[in-house]
Amino acid sequence: MTTWNRLHTDSPLGRMTLAASELGLCGVWFDGQRHGPSLEQIERWTHAPGHPLLLQAAEQLQTYFAGQRQSFDLPLDLSHGTAFQQSVWHALLQVGCGQHQSYGDLARQLNNAKAVRAVGAAVGRNPITIIVPCHRILGAGGQLTGYAGGLWRKEALLRLEGHPLPMPAPTTSSLFPE
């Protein structure tokens, strides 16, 4: 049986839960995020406020939100999904800060151009938000589509990264002014 450790951290976009397995960081979710673990699941994990990897992940996320980090240097455990999901999550790691791809681009990169919907579903179930940058995947015309943490968060993350596309003002108060 896999033992997971957890830590909660605050961010400008809301409280987050971080999880680590023996292999690495295996989860980063905003509270209430779609496709995230239930509160009951989280409560079964060991609360580990001094866990070195979780503390390092929380610190790297804070420097990211402060605009001082564009990439993450953490051991990841992406083994908790299907083989297809894992391939999508690994492909997401290739989309750099300030860049984006469409779901179709990602499907073609995986040599499965007809799997756009399956790619979208796998992106939506990414267990390590921000660090595995699913927010950098946009609709075919560059529009903001789907984000398990909420479109307002996706827009805020892209704005923080200096994304070049003009985007409308967020529907909630802007956390990252221009």
Report d(CA 57, CA 131) in Å as an integer: 9
Q: Sign of torsion, CA 167 171 175 178? A: positive
Q: How many CB atoms lie within 10 A of CB 61?
A: 22
Whether 15 and 30 have beta carbons less than 8 Å apart is answered as: yes
Q: Phi/psi of residue 48, each to 5°?
A: -130, 75
For the annotated catalytic residues, the residue numbers are 134
